[in-house]
Amino acid sequence: REALKNDFLKQVGEATSKMFMNNKDIKGILVGGTGMLKEEFVKSDSLNYQIKNKILGTVDTAYTGEFGLQEMLERGEDLIKEASIFKEKKILKGFFAELRKLKPLVVYGIDQTIKALEMGAADKILLSEGVEIVEAIINIDKREKKIYSYKDKLDEKIKSMNGKLVKTIPLIDIIDEYAAKFGTSVEILSRDTREGEQFYMLGGIGAILRYELN
């Protein structure tokens, strides 16, 4: 029986590695089940160490199959949130540490971030959750001009320029286009941590650079 169990764990480990090993989009893995076998599986040598490093924790479930998967997600919500917060803190601590340098490879604010994005210099775009920024096309003296603004301050900005709004595009859509073009990643950050709140107070938008801007 012990040999059969070990063979089973080995098969599951091989299937897990085959499914997850080369998937860079996977941020974390939950392991769930009705008994103690899941703990044995996580501690065993059946899993590749790279997969093990992505395991957020184990979750007890009363069901198997599709119902068990749903139950695992619901019960594992705190583990997922903790992992997300840990990741955010790590990113932002690195951002602020870089910001203190003489020639930092980070920028913040709408204009500098967009400049880095358009130049392909942004390795990672950081956005605070809930911050809405738009690209607006406005008409000034019969000429169209492109501007960027926080959505709730757009009307005031257009009025100060004696312009008339033609159309707006959410900045996140533009970021997605450039991200696909230059391989830039995007991180949406919460305000649940001290670092997250501090970044929000800086304007809620910034970038980690590949190289220094001119």
Q: What is the pLDDT of residue 17?
A: 85
Q: What is the pLDDT of residue 51?
A: 82
Residue 27 clears pLDDT 80, i.e. is over it: no
| Residue recorded with tokens 């400049």 | 115
Residue 24 clears pLDDT 80, i.e. is over it: no
pTM of the model: 0.69
The 8 Å CB, 24+ separation contacts for 68-76 are 68/32, 68/33, 68/34, 69/32, 71/32, 72/30, 72/32, 73/30, 75/32, 76/30, 76/32
Angle at 159 between CA 154 and CA 163, to 5 degrees: 95
Q: What amino acid occupies position 19?
A: M
pLDDT tens per residue, range 28-56 = 888 888 888 888 888 888 888 778 878 88
Residue 142 clears pLDDT 90, i.e. is over it: no
pLDDT tens per residue, range 73-128 = 888 888 888 888 888 999 999 999 999 998 999 999 999 999 999 999 999 999 99
3-state secondary structure at position 135: strand
Closest CA to 91 of 201, 188, 210: 188
pLDDT tens per residue, range 186-205 = 999 998 889 999 999 999 99
d(CA 103, CA 110): 19
Non-local (6+) Cβ contacts of 96 within 8 A are 195, 198
Burial per residue of 87-108, b for 16 or more beta-carbon CB atoms within 10 angstroms, e otherwise: ebbebbeebeeeeeeeebbbbb
Burial class (CB in 10 A: 0-12, 13-18, 19+), 17: middle
